[in-house]
């Protein structure tokens, strides 16, 4: 059990270390977070500031909080995110969304994400009220930050992109 749990945690943490900084980068690029997080390293072309920020926040959370607190902060949030991904997979396949080339299709169509969604709902049904409250509080803070950013106007990148004149084909 210890070896299996260790391998599972290593896989999860590796995916988190790769994915979360890219989300911070994308949010910053779109003007939802400070622009400094959207800067790329000049040599490696990686979002180095977003990586350092994510690592620092993760280290601080692990150093300050207990394991139980960290579980409370992540349990419902991760399961909800996975559930939204399952629903998005079904909807994107239904709409036949393509960006370039042939889209990925699962054997069985929407059956696999639907079954995964059922399992996720079952897992969420076992979460405590405190876990839902913590996740709801974090979501409320995120919504307030988003609303504050929207009230301040469009992000600078959007204004710059709109200001660039397009060339006519004539």
pLDDT tens digits for 39-97? 999 999 999 999 999 999 889 888 887 777 777 778 888 899 899 999 998 898 888 87
Where does the chain have alpha helices with state H? 2-29, 48-64, 67-95, 111-124, 129-151, 156-163
Place of tokens 């004149």: 165
Query: Distance (Å, rounded) from C-alpha 56 to C-alpha 68?
Result: 20
User: What pLDDT was estimated at residue 148?
Assistant: 82
Query: pTM score, two decimals?
Result: 0.65
Number of helical H runs and strand E runs in the chain: 6, 0
User: What pLDDT was estimated at residue 97?
Assistant: 79
For residues 132-155, give the mean pLDDT.
82
User: What pLDDT was estimated at residue 50?
Assistant: 95
Please state, rounded to an integer, the average pLDDT across all residues of the chain: 83
Q: Report the Cα–Cα distance between both ends of the chain, in Å, rounded.
A: 68
Query: Distance (Å, rounded) from C-alpha 138 to C-alpha 37?
Result: 21
Query: Distance (Å, rounded) from C-alpha 70 to C-alpha 72?
Result: 5
Query: Distance (Å, rounded) from C-alpha 73 to C-alpha 64?
Result: 13
User: What pLDDT was estimated at residue 118?
Assistant: 97
User: What pLDDT was estimated at residue 160?
Assistant: 46
């Amino acid at each position: 059990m210890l070896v299996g749990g260790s391998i599972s945690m290593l896989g999860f943490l590796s995916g988190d270390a790769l994915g979360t900084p890219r989300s911070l980068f994308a949010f910053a690029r779109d003007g939802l977070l400070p622009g400094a997080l959207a800067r790329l390293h000049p040599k490696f072309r990686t979002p180095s500031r977003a990586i350092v920020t994510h690592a620092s926040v993760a280290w601080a959370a692990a150093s300050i909080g207990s394991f139980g607190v960290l579980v409370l902060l992540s349990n419902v949030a991760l399961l909800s995110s996975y559930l939204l991904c399952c629903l998005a997979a079904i909807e994107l396949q239904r709409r036949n969304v393509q960006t370039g080339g042939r889209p990925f299709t699962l054997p069985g169509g929407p059956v696999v994400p639907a079954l995964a969604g059922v399992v996720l709902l079952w897992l969420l049904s076992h979460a405590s009220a405190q876990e839902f409250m913590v996740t709801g509080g974090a979501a409320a803070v995120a919504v307030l930050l988003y609303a504050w950013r929207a009230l301040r106007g469009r992000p600078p990148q959007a204004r710059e992109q709109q200001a660039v004149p397009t060339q006519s084909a004539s």
